[in-house]
Amino acid sequence: MRESAVKDRILGTASRLFYDQGYHVTGINQIIEEADIARASLYNHFPSKTDLLLAYLDQTHKEWFMALDAYLFPLAEPRDKILALFDYRIQRQRRLKYKGCHFNKITAETCEDEQVFRRVKMHKERFRQYIRDLVAQTQHHSSLDDEMLTDALFLLLEGGIAVGAMFRSSDDAEKAKLIAEFFL
Amino acid sequence: MRESAVKDRILGTASRLFYDQGYHVTGINQIIEEADIARASLYNHFPSKTDLLLAYLDQTHKEWFMALDAYLFPLAEPRDKILALFDYRIQRQRRLKYKGCHFNKITAETCEDEQVFRRVKMHKERFRQYIRDLVAQTQHHSSLDDEMLTDALFLLLEGGIAVGAMFRSSDDAEKAKLIAEFFL
DNA sequence: GGCAAAGTAGACAGACTTGTCTATTTTATG
DNA sequence: CATAAAATAGACAAGTCTGTCTACTTTGCC
């Protein structure tokens, strides 16, 4: 039997609230209410609020890369794929009302939890590797070597999204894309 | 008469805790305890926790630019000043244990407060302007125009610090500096 | 139909939260 | 020295938080 619909609704609601409002200001009571499920159901599926947080991070990580793969799939040229990385994140931010990167947000909120920290690092390192693989397939006319180009693209992307959150805008991510085009 | 030492101790303790642990997990009780002052003293100087937050942001903004000015003051060449921007932030992050930008952190925590939002935007826009002024004084051999170079530097800096917070490291900010040197 | 699993409703404990208030003591200054 | 301002200790209200528990109802499956 598939995962219960109740569990999905709990995690979905919690994820939305954790991202939109923040983890610490989101209470179990609010999750219960908005997901319209019983208190015991939540604690049956997730023994603690921390477990819910970790499930949120795992789920977000998984969904994030699946959506990215789907977004880049139609494109043939590695260079186009790299530029589409910017579009992917810009569109996503537009949909999410410019609240920034999920993993950046949770890092800013929960400083000490090692399990959270590990997931954040894993997600970002994997994204950097994703870029590295695309760069390796591209013949760019940049004076930077592949590794530095990878870092430049990664930092422009992360910077663009982070600044975008502070300005509630995609302007900086768009600028980041324009700058990236100069390298490629 | 100068501002009371008690007020300074309240704001100093609150600032440290807001940054280190996060705003929402820091309670008034903890601030009182660690600052070693009376409850009524806190509410006498700061009518609410939100006022304390705004004072924290104002104070941080002010101190941030003063320390930056002091850091760049000995340098003559605009190009050196630009590169020193990276060093300034790297050293600061090392001292702060790589918890990232104060304004990025508070943005991630408090989404809706317009007064917070305004201060964050103001701080970042002023920093961008700071870079823009330095770029205008530099004769760089970049194919990017002044405005794009400004954005590139700004985004590399912000990206480097944000990523550094997620990895608890200054590696990415160091890389950002190396990339920036190619432009200049 | 029967039976176990899953879900529900809601009370409850114990601790924490922000902010107010009173009463007292310390400090600074004319 | 006197007087006003500032700081203190601590009780208190009213609400929130997470997590546990009991009792009941619905659901799915053999």
Find which nucleotide's C1' atom is closest to B42's CA.
Answer: D7
Nearest by CB to B156, which of A159, A166, A182?
A159
Count of CB atoms within 10 A of residue B60's CB?
A: 18
| Average confidence (pLDDT) over A137-157 | 95
**Annotated domain spans of chain B:** 1-47, 51-183
Test B156 with A152 for CB contact under 8 angstroms. yes
Percentage of chain A with pLDDT > 90?
A: 92
Test A108 with B110 for CB contact under 8 angstroms. no
**pLDDT under 50 in chain B at which residues?**
1
- Strand D: which positions are within 7 A of a protein CB? 6-11, 16-23, 28-29
Burial (0-12, 13-18, 19+ Cβ within 10 Å), A22: buried
Tens digits of per-residue pLDDT, A88-107? 999 999 999 999 999 999 99
Instruction: Identify the band that residue A2 occupies on the pLDDT scale cut at 50, 70 and 90.
Output: low
Q: In whole angstroms, what is the distance from residue A136 CA to residue B48 CA?
A: 54
Fold category of B51-183 in CATH:
Tetracycline Repressor; domain 2 (1.10.357)
- pLDDT of B1: 40
Strand C footprint at Cβ < 7 Å? A 4-7, 36-41, 44-45; B 1, 26-30, 39-40, 43, 47-50
For nucleotide D21, the protein residue with its alpha carbon nearest to C1' is A40
Average pLDDT, whole number, for chain B? 96
In a mutagenesis test of the B interface, which of A96, A179, A182 is the best target, namely the one with the most B β-carbons within 10 Å? A179
B51-183 matches B1-47 in CATH topology: no
Nearest by CB to A148, which of B144, B167, B179?
B179
Chain B CB contacts of A176 below 8 Å: 151, 155
- Strand C: which positions are within 7 A of a protein CB? 6-11, 16-23, 28-29
For B142, left (φ over 0), alpha (ψ -120 to 50), or beta?
beta
- What's the distance, CA B85 to chain centroid? 12
Q: Which residue of A has its CA nearest to B165?
A: A107
Q: Which CATH class is domain A1-47?
A: mainly alpha
Is there contact between A104 and strand D, defined as CB under 7 Å from any strand atom? no
Q: Which residue of B has its CA nearest to A106?
A: B108
Lookup: tokens for B86: 């990276």
| Average confidence (pLDDT) over A63-69 | 98
- Cβ neighbors of A155 (< 8 A, separation 6 or more) are B155, B156, B159, B160, B163, B172, B175, B176, B179
Tens digits of per-residue pLDDT, B135-170? 999 998 888 999 999 999 999 999 999 999 999 999
Chain A CB contacts of B121 below 8 Å: 166-167
Tens digits of per-residue pLDDT, A5-38? 899 999 999 999 999 999 999 999 999 999 999 9
Superfamily per CATH, domain A54-183: Tetracycline Repressor, domain 2 (1.10.357.10)
Cβ-count burial A34-72 (b if 16+ within 10 Å, e if not): bbebeeebbeebbeebeebbbbbbeebbeebeeebeebb
CA of B61 to C1' of C8 (A): 51
